[in-house]
Amino acid sequence: MALKDFFNGIPWLSFEKPYRDKDQATIEKFLEEHKQEVGYYAFLQMQYDKQWQALLAYAHEKDVLIFGDIPYLLRHGQCGCLGKSSFVPV
């Protein structure tokens, strides 16, 4: 999300090539220069995980089975596809 913010919300397929193709040096430089933004999104993910784990524990205490996790769909241009770009034809 920090990269998507950096590119003003455009789909990751439109990121500049070194970012889109996850060039290691480019990504490392970005991480160094945008620690606060990256940290913010890491914090949000950590909070989500803590809440999800608490919900699962509560459900199990009540003998409610939650199988898997929250389903979602990825659109072609979403950042979630960036990490799995081998599954997405470019």
Closest C-alpha among 11, 82, 22, 78 to residue 30: 22
Say what the pLDDT of residue 36 is: 97
The pTM for the full model equals 0.69
Q: Do 83 and 90 contact (CB within 8 A), yes or no?
A: no
Give Cα separations from 28 to 4, 36, 75, 81 (angstroms).
16, 14, 26, 20
Per-residue pLDDT of the chain (90 residues; tens, 9 = 90+): 999 999 999 999 999 999 999 999 999 999 999 999 999 999 999 999 999 899 999 999 999 988 776 656 566 666 555 565 555 554
